Structure 1
Amino acid sequence: MQGMDRRQFLRVSAGLLGAGCCACAAPLADQPVAAGRAAPAEAKGGYGGPIIDCHSHAGGAHGYDEDALLRVMDQAGVSRVVTFGASPGRAAHERVIPIAYVGGGFGGADLRSRLKDGAFRGQKLSVRHFPFPMQPGGTHGSATDSTVRAAAALAAEARRPLTLHLDGPRTDDLAALCREFPDAPIIWAHAGTTPPRFGGGATPGQVRAMLDAHANLHIDMSARAVGWMGPIALPEWEDVFLAHPGRILFGVDVFQARFFPLVASAVTEWRELLGKLPAPVAAQIAHGNAKRLFLG
């Protein structure tokens, strides 16, 4: 491999994963890319396959319902949307994938039952969040708080993912939660990043270290587009994507109707970015990992 740097080696070595790897079980899907030669996800125009948004909201204070959100996603070419706050009855359609807000009005026994029978496909909890219009003061919790630990215990029992908004750069509490509940599928929303004016949050290096250390941890890359926190710089994140292709998820993060006009352009940005990755990796990030976690 003389004359080839580490990033080039990882890109070239992606080929033997094969396009079908996106449906593999978690331990196999998360294997770093193996030796071979990879083709780009699409020869021209970026990634052209299915996309699942694994991070958006509807209902209640958000001011729009699941049908309005679906219309926007249809226009953007998004096939399914993991929807925090959606009615549990929507799970049967599998276009809207309903996720329960922790503390959102469902008691412990009721939520446990609905997670186990698939009416809800996961839980969502905002633990540490920078100030934003719907929470002007932000939230200032820890992943070791009792509410979070109870949600993680339920995630482990039901084998349904728990999505946590947990701003970096602090990661010690998330690491402790992952260690305490190794059977809980945990998704770190936005990969712990924040807008630059709030410090930027977790760095790609921190995220890579967390994924290296905790096999039950996943990240969603939502809110990383123009109009949200801005697009990612692929050279900074490519090693993360290639090292852990089975634990990266695409997301948009619609939480107010004012974001509706921006969804199509965000999806286009990500199709172009995914087209620069090996085809099997792009397919996992775009839809394969979400199907396995939320619909498996």
Structure 2
Amino acid sequence: MAAVVLIAAPGHRAAAEDPIEIFDAHLHYNWEPKPFYQLDEVLALFKKHRITGVLATSRPNTGTHALMDAKAEGLQVVPFIRPYRVRADIGSWFNDPVIFDLVQDEFKRGYYRGIGEFHLSGKAADTEMVKKTVDFAVTNNLYLHAHADDEAVEILMRHNPRAKVIWAHAGFSLAGDRVAAMLAKYPKLWGELSYRSGIVDGSGKLTPEWRTLFERYPDRFLLGSDTWVPERWASYDEIMAGYRGWLAQLPPAVAKQIAHGNARGLFAEK
């Protein structure tokens, strides 16, 4: 018996030291004007950081097509339709019928699970094109990935109460009690945490406000890198280390839900 324990113990210690797996639920592999990393470099980066899933978007959607075609072992790619061809579309897509045509054409590929990330501020969400996009998503059981303030999120939900919204950046610096109120009001709203301020203090310690939020709503948060510019790819190591730093301060079950469990549940393989 003693011999068995001695042999088994090192392996158990190694497993315990493995970094928690992360589902990157806000990833852009943009091809405008060209990718920062080649596809094999991107896949190697995911493997290095134990990224086992990605919510993939790109501008244009070429980068997402490439990630889907790669079929990398051990990596779940969840493709979303980006309603942008070039960066300038950020400020006009919500009034542009051509963009809605783009969304419908991309959807014909048969593998998309959502629409976004798209940008909306306040009453810019209250347009015919946005409502058509929300209704299209609901009809086809798609998620919406919205970079939006709380007013715009409210409007999205008013367009169609059955909408399922991933809230990019979870309101950025919005007060935690307002985030909690939004989660309580909308059961089909999930907060994605890239660029989210207030989670940790200057020493990297989880703040009491956000510890309470995570423990109250452990099933409503996702992690993301938001690799929208080359600098975010270059700091991927730092981004993931930052997440793991505060995840380690949570109860293990809560940490696993936020790190990958919630995304796995939302995007279960069809």
Q: Do both share a fold (TM > 0.5)? A: yes
Structure 1 partner of 2:181: 209
Structure 2 partner of 1:32: none
AA of the residue aligned to 2:244: R
Structure 1 partner of 2:157: 178
Structure 2 partner of 1:223: 195
Shift in alpha-carbon separation, 1:48–1:120, aligned structure 2, 3 A: same
Structure 2 partner of 1:154: 136
Distance 2:217 2:189 in 1: 10
Alignment partner for residue 126 of structure 1, among 118, 131, 146?
A: 118
Instruction: Name the count of aligned residue pairs.
Output: 226
AA of the residue aligned to 1:292: G
- Give the unaligned 5+ runs of structure 1: 1-43, 130-139, 194-199
Which one has more relative contact order, counting CA pairs under 8 Å at least 6 apart? 1
Structure 2 partner of 1:276: 249
| 1:141 shift after superposition | 6.0
Secondary structure of 1:251's counterpart equals: coil
Q: TM-score if structure 2 supplies the norm length?
A: 0.72
Secondary structure of 2:227's counterpart equals: coil
Shift in alpha-carbon separation, 1:113–1:207, aligned structure 2, 3 A: same
Distance 2:123 2:246 in 1: 33
AA of the residue aligned to 1:54: A
Alignment partner for residue 59 of structure 1, among 7, 12, 30?
A: 30
Contact 1:163 1:189 in 2 (8 A): yes
Contact 1:54 1:220 in 2 (8 A): yes
Alignment partner for residue 192 of structure 1, among 165, 171, 191?
A: 171
| 1:294 shift after superposition | 2.8
Distance 2:237 2:33 in 1: 19
Shift in alpha-carbon separation, 1:62–1:79, aligned structure 2, 3 A: farther
Identity of aligned residues (%): 27
Q: TM-score if structure 1 supplies the norm length?
A: 0.66
> RMSD of the TM alignment (CA)?
2.9
Secondary structure of 1:281's counterpart equals: helix
**Which of the two has higher C-alpha Rg?**
2
Distance 1:62 1:52 in 2: 26
- Alignment of 1:50 with 2:24, yes or no, is no
Distance 2:131 2:117 in 1: 11
AA of the residue aligned to 2:237: A
Structure having the larger proportion of residues in helix = 2
Secondary structure of 2:32's counterpart equals: helix
Q: How does 1:256-295 map to 2 (within 5 A)?
A: 256-295=229-268
Deviation readout 1:61-97 (Å, 9 max, x if unpaired)? 2631544433332222222221212333644635433
- Give the unaligned 5+ runs of structure 2: 1-15, 86-98
Alignment partner for residue 88 of structure 1, among 65, 74, 94?
A: 65
| 1:214 shift after superposition | 0.7
Structure 1 partner of 2:92: none
Distance 1:103 1:258 in 2: 21
Structure 2 partner of 1:6: none
